[in-house]
Chain A
Amino acid sequence: MNFEYSDEQRLLSDTLRKFLGTGYSFDARGKIIASPAGFSDDVWAALAEMGILSVPFDAVYGGFGGMTIDMLIVFEAFGEALVVEPYLATVGLGGRFVARGGSAEQRARILPALIQGKHKMAFAQTEVDARWDLRRVTTRATKSGDGWVLEGDKRAVLHGGSADTLVVSARTGGAPDDARGISLFLVERTAPGVAVTDYRGLDNLRVADVRLSGVRAGRDALLGPEGDGFGLIEDVVDYATTLVCGEAVGAIKYAHDATLDYLKTRRQFGVPIGSFQALQHRMVDILISYEQARSIACLACVKIDTADAAERRRVVSAAKIKIADAARHVSQEAVQLHGGMGMTEELKISHTFRRLTMIAQAFGDADHHLARFGAAS
């Protein structure tokens, strides 16, 4: 048993944090989110250059061959800096789908380009009435000649607007809520019949609605076995859930540090407001939430790499419950303790508040994971 980071992991953390410290200030980020694309190609190229895009992938494709704990290092740093680039969508979702379920040909075609920063991805799954149920897929893939034709509507696809390739879940069999009968397809965003409507999220990440009408998918577009994609979807979504837990830990750390700093510098009644016990105890509770959130995120990262599917579901849901609760607690308290300033767009804390609020219900809110944990226990 050992909680220390290795030298290699420390180097990864230092390199990334140094880059974000200089190149991703709150002001710099402000310009990025105001740009038409909503993220920076230069930052993306720099992440590729530093090897950050390569972290979880096999060395065969030019990857770093990292464990999920290495991704925790990346996501904690991203959470602190509120990075808006499509990293989760490309590396955590799309790349993970290809690495875990793709054919040798698909992996060789996509992963090296992805690692070099030349190929972005997104996961088109959510449908209008699906809420958090991953089985709820009504988008249809109908056999046609050597391939399929896709019809359906996908909603709130994270970074769908900038993806080169979308991983689309579609039904090749079964009823709309069956686990069986779901297949996964690699669809180019610019393919005929794909209509993408891009939105800016209030947390400054981009999301898109994706309409598929008569989209042709060839044999080589099928990712994994036909009709049996659900297990892979759960596997990848659990992975991505763990990663946003890591991002939340970073954002909570920022909220903790910024709030503590505010308590020490803001003066009322002639003294720093941090001298008031009513506020001190609330600040301590923020610290406790941070430590507990970090612990459960570490546990999930370790279990993702080592546990069987049943234990993985249980631990990831446990992590998401704690992270959702901690994210809500800390984000709300941070705004409250910042007073009026916490309400302003001008301060980073309000941006952190919005991102934490979104993470609290990304890939299922606490209630969803409470039910899932119960079913897995």
Chain B
Amino acid sequence: MDLNYSPEETAFRDEVHAWIEANLPSDLRDKVLSYGELTKDELLGWHKTLAKKGWIAPHWPREWGGTDWTVVQRYIFEEECGAAGCPPIVPFGVRMCAPVLLRFGTDAQKQRFLPRIYNGDDFWVQGYSEPGAGSDLASLKTRAVRDGDHYVVTGQKIWTTLGHYGDWIFCLVRTDPKTEKRQDGISFLLVDMKSPGITVRPIVLLDQSREVNEVFFDDVAVPAENLVHEENKGWTVAKFLLGYERMGTGNIAVCKRELARVKELAARAGLLDDPRFTDRLTRVEVELMALEITNLRFLDQLRGGRPPGAEVSLLKIKGTEIQQALTELMMQTAGPLAPIFRPVAPDAPFDAFTATLFPRYCNVRKATIYAGSNEIQRNIIAKATLGL
């Protein structure tokens, strides 16, 4: 067992570090570090910078632009991006739709979509949840009826993250409402969001941000060639994606950066002398130290050709719990200034960063709910790992 980087790994880390230093615009970094709302252009801009360097899709096969990095290299890359304050790579295209196309897509679909996903030509979003289908995703009702060379899609998706930026949306839709098992009548469909009949409506969240949306489909015509995998086999695709998604949802690098930020804020607020505060902070830090090693142990199993099972869901559970705990501590550092949110008079003096701490605490409550709530993650571990 050796937790140190090899000389090659250290050299790689230095290379990534230097490249980010040279290519991450400082105003963009500052916006990330102060929890600013990133525009579509900012998100795609960073995506394109990485694409030009050849680093946007390390996990893809080489022929489509993958890097052949080892799992440790991938980890180092994420570490460096997180530490530096790079914008997040929006996962819906490169990390979700693309792996699905690589696994299930036709040659024509790969040729058509993968280069555009790679280059950041389109902004992809995900159409899974519906008002009546959250944790119980298989109960989804959005209908797609085959009509000649088209499907006609009718229904509603909800919680569509960054749906208002979306150019394309990949959806789970019901193509057969009469199957005995609900999972059997579902298909995976790619939809151009400029199609007539699509309406995107914002949902204002508890921090008053616009991040998620409702997407309505009103007789939307979708070419049949946009069906991925076979009709009524969409659940297989969804399950594949779920398994694919689970690794690396621990957000270790970002949590480490946020931990350092909490310490900085706490020091300024004089809270590091208060053992009631520091004891709670230390317990979070210790949990994160352990989670980093847990993450590496799972990656090491992956490298050894023994992919870990559903227990990787614990990365999501613990990672999001830590994220939330950090925002809670961070908000506490604002103390009596926490209520100041936004000046009414536009020229009023204003500590914009402190004002982000309470909304951020509110916003991150989402982390234990999205991408399979932590309760669903526990169900998954109980069933698949523990055999209960």
The answer to whether A and B interact is yes
Q: B-contacting residues of A (Cβ < 8 Å)?
A: 1-5, 69, 260, 263-264, 274-275, 277, 280-281, 283-285, 287-288, 291-296, 298-299, 301-302, 306, 315, 318, 321-322, 325, 367, 370-371, 373-374, 377
Please give, as numbers and ranges, the residues of chain A lying within 8 Å of B387 by CB-CB distance: 264
Which of A4, A301, A315 has most chain B Cβ within 10 Å?
A4
Beyond known contacts A1-B2, A1-B9, A3-B1: 12 more, CB 8 A cutoff: A4-B1, A260-B388, A275-B388, A277-B382, A284-B314, A292-B318, A295-B294, A295-B297, A296-B289, A315-B289, A367-B279, A373-B286
B297 adjacent to A293 (CB under 8 Å):
no
Interface locus among B132-140, B207-215, B373-381: B373-381
Q: Give min CB distance, A62 to chain B, whole Å.
A: 25
- What are 22 A-B residue pairs whose CB atoms fall within 8 Å in the complex? A1-B9, A1-B72, A1-B296, A3-B300, A4-B1, A260-B388, A275-B388, A280-B378, A280-B379, A280-B382, A281-B382, A285-B378, A288-B314, A288-B317, A291-B297, A295-B293, A295-B294, A296-B286, A318-B286, A321-B286, A322-B290, A374-B278
- Distance A277 CA – B383 CA, assembled complex (angstroms): 10
Residues B258-296 near A (CB distance < 8 A): 275, 278-279, 282-283, 285-287, 289-294, 296
Please give, as numbers and ranges, the residues of chain A lying within 8 Å of B275 by CB-CB distance: 370-371, 374
Residue of B nearest to A299 (CB): B293
Please give, as numbers and ranges, the residues of chain B lying within 8 Å of A299 by CB-CB distance: 3, 289-290, 293
Please give, as numbers and ranges, the residues of chain A lying within 8 Å of B293 by CB-CB distance: 295-296, 298-299
Give me the 4 closest cross-chain CB pairs, A-B, nearest first: A295-B293, A280-B382, A3-B300, A296-B290
Q: Is B22 an interface residue (CB 8 A)?
A: no
Identify which of B301, B378, B385, B388 contacts A274 (C-beta below 8 A). Answer: B388
Residue of B nearest to A303 (CB): B3
B388 adjacent to A318 (CB under 8 Å):
no
B1 adjacent to A302 (CB under 8 Å):
yes
A291 adjacent to B304 (CB under 8 Å):
no
- Distance A4 CA – B6 CA, assembled complex (angstroms): 15
- Distance A292 CA – B285 CA, assembled complex (angstroms): 13
A4-B304, A288-B318 known; A295 vs B385 contact (CB < 8 Å): no
Q: Give min CB distance, A326 to chain B, whole Å.
A: 9
B378 adjacent to A281 (CB under 8 Å):
yes
Q: Give min CB distance, B278 to chain A, whole Å.
A: 5
Q: Name the interface size band of chain B.
A: 35 or more
- Distance A72 CA – B386 CA, assembled complex (angstroms): 25
A291-B311, A295-B290, A374-B275 known; A283 vs B6 contact (CB < 8 Å): no
Kindly supply a per-residue 1/0 record for chain B positions 349-383, scoring 1 wherever the CB is within 8 Å of any chain A CB and 0 otherwise: 00000000000000000000000000100110110
Q: Give min CB distance, B193 to chain A, whole Å.
A: 38
A264-B387, A281-B375, A321-B283 known; A287 vs B290 contact (CB < 8 Å): no
Q: Is B39 an interface residue (CB 8 A)?
A: no
Which of A283, A284, A299 has most chain B Cβ within 10 Å?
A284
Please give, as numbers and ranges, the residues of chain B lying within 8 Å of A260 by CB-CB distance: 386, 388
A280 adjacent to B1 (CB under 8 Å):
no
Identify which of B279, B289, B382 contacts A370 (C-beta below 8 A). Answer: B279
B386 adjacent to A295 (CB under 8 Å):
no
- Distance A101 CA – B195 CA, assembled complex (angstroms): 77
Please give, as numbers and ranges, the residues of chain A lying within 8 Å of B3 by CB-CB distance: 1, 298-299, 302
A291 adjacent to B386 (CB under 8 Å):
no
Please give, as numbers and ranges, the residues of chain A lying within 8 Å of B378 by CB-CB distance: 280-281, 284-285
Residue of A nearest to B70 (CB): A1
Q: Give min CB distance, A297 to chain B, whole Å.
A: 9
Please give, as numbers and ranges, the residues of chain A lying within 8 Å of B381 by CB-CB distance: 284, 287
A284 adjacent to B386 (CB under 8 Å):
yes
Please give, as numbers and ranges, the residues of chain A lying within 8 Å of B289 by CB-CB distance: 296, 299, 315, 318, 322
Please give, as numbers and ranges, the residues of chain B lying within 8 Å of A69 by CB-CB distance: 1
A298-B293, A318-B286 known; A1 vs B4 contact (CB < 8 Å): yes
A2-B300, A280-B379, A288-B318 known; A263 vs B290 contact (CB < 8 Å): no
Q: Is B64 an interface residue (CB 8 A)?
A: no
Please give, as numbers and ranges, the residues of chain B lying within 8 Å of A288 by CB-CB distance: 314, 317-318
Kindly supply a per-residue 1/0 record for chain B positions 4-27, scoring 1 wherever the CB is within 8 Å of any chain A CB and 0 otherwise: 111001000000000000000000
- Distance A186 CA – B13 CA, assembled complex (angstroms): 49
- Distance A4 CA – B296 CA, assembled complex (angstroms): 11
- Distance A322 CA – B381 CA, assembled complex (angstroms): 22
Please give, as numbers and ranges, the residues of chain B lying within 8 Å of A2 by CB-CB distance: 1-2, 300
- Distance A283 CA – B381 CA, assembled complex (angstroms): 10
Please give, as numbers and ranges, the residues of chain A lying within 8 Å of B2 by CB-CB distance: 1-2, 302
Residue of B nearest to A302 (CB): B3
